[in-house]
């Protein structure tokens, strides 16, 4: 039977904005991992947009090696604590799980979250931070790449580029990095502390994050190239809302989703 994830009691959660899902305990995680068939041709991997070796990390959890499981996940995914909480697994990896034939797919998202959260508590330095190994001379020899936008796309690109040996600067127009992770997903689903910790990991890889810089206004793309950046990745996000052109959309107290978010109705990461 699929193990249910414990949630904050409804009598308590109506009084706060804390995270509703509490994640797996160690016994629950072990029971859920044991349910995995460790398929030789895992369909779940085909359903994962970044191709995480799901059976491999679940096998490590079964062997009581959560730190190694996290390392395996981070070979492909730089935001496991985020994806374990808000990734639509039911339509992706879990949606392809062979156990769907019995309507009991493995709770892959909860297992990913468990590995990520375990790593934060028990082994925060388990991944070596590249920036500690670079001298000023070494940094000067690296190819410079600019990433514009610090949402999921920009953060993923920046981290992967840093792992490949590029010197990455990430530019964000708002005063806190994270994009939709920081401004668009409510606290009860994705705590800002989790976003901050994932940002810290990416900075630890050597990525420099610069906020309050609007590319196109503060600097043009040509000016970035003139500053020595050899390539620029644009992860600009959803931007302005698209209205439907229906009666009443301009009435008072009618908001688009984007407007509501970027107006600051959801507290930024450092508030």
CB 116 within 8 A of CB 84: yes
Q: What distance separates the 2 farthest-apart alpha carbons in the chain?
A: 61
User: For residue 247, what are its two tokens?
Assistant: 């009666």
pLDDT digits (tens, 9 = 90+) for 16-62: 999 999 999 999 999 999 999 999 999 999 999 999 999 999 999 99
The reported pLDDT for the residue numbered 124 is 56
Residue 251 or residue 139, greater confidence: 251
Indicate the class that CATH gives domain 6-122.
mainly alpha
pLDDT digits (tens, 9 = 90+) for 172-198: 999 999 999 998 888 999 999 999 999
Domain with CATH 3.50.50.60 in the chain: 130-239+246-265
Domain with CATH 1.10.1060.10 in the chain: 6-122
Q: What is the CATH number of domain 130-239+246-265?
A: 3.50.50.60
Matching residue, tokens 């994830």: 5
54-62 helix and 108-122 helix, angle to the nearest 10 degrees: 60
User: For residue 148, what are its two tokens?
Assistant: 């514009």
**Mean model confidence pLDDT for the chain:** 88
The reported pLDDT for the residue numbered 42 is 95
The pTM assigned to this predicted structure is 0.83
Nearest to 137 by CA among 174, 97, 167: 167
pLDDT digits (tens, 9 = 90+) for 199-225: 999 999 999 999 999 999 999 999 999
CB 79 within 8 A of CB 64: no
Measured distance CA(117)–CA(81) in Å, rounded = 7
CA atoms within 13 A on the CB side of 134: 19
Sign of CA dihedral 61, 67, 158, 141: negative
């Amino acid at each position: 039977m699929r193990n249910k994830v414990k949630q904050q009691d409804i009598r308590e959660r109506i009084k706060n904005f804390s995270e509703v899902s509490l994640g797996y305990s160690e016994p629950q995680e072990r029971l859920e991992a044991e349910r995995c068939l460790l398929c030789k041709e895992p369909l779940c991997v085909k359903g994962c947009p970044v191709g995480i070796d799901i059976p491999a990390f679940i096998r490590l959890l079964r062997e009581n090696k959560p730190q190694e499981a996290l390392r395996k996940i981070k070979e492909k995914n730089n935001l496991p604590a985020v994806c374990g909480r808000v990734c639509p697994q039911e339509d992706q990896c879990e949606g392809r799980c062979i156990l769907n034939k019995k309507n009991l797919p493995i709770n892959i998202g909860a297992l990913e979250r468990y590995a990520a959260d375990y790593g934060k508590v028990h082994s925060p330095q388990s991944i070596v931070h590249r920036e500690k190994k670079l001298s000023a001379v070494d940094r000067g020899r690296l190819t410079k790449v600019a990433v514009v936008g610090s949402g999921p796309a920009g953060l993923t690109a920046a981290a992967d580029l840093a792992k490949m040996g590029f010197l990455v600067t990430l530019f964000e127009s708002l005063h806190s990095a994270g994009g939709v992770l920081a401004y668009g997903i409510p606290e009860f689903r994705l705590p800002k502390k989790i976003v901050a910790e994932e940002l810290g990991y990416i900075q630890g890889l050597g990525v420099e994050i610069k906020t309050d810089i609007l590319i196109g206004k503060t600097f043009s793309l040509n000016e970035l190239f003139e500053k020595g950046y050899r390539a620029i990745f644009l992860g600009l996000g959803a931007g302005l809302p698209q209205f439907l052109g229906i009666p009443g959309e301009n009435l008072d107290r009618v908001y688009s989703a984007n407007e509501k978010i970027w107006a600051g109705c959801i507290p930024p990461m450092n508030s």
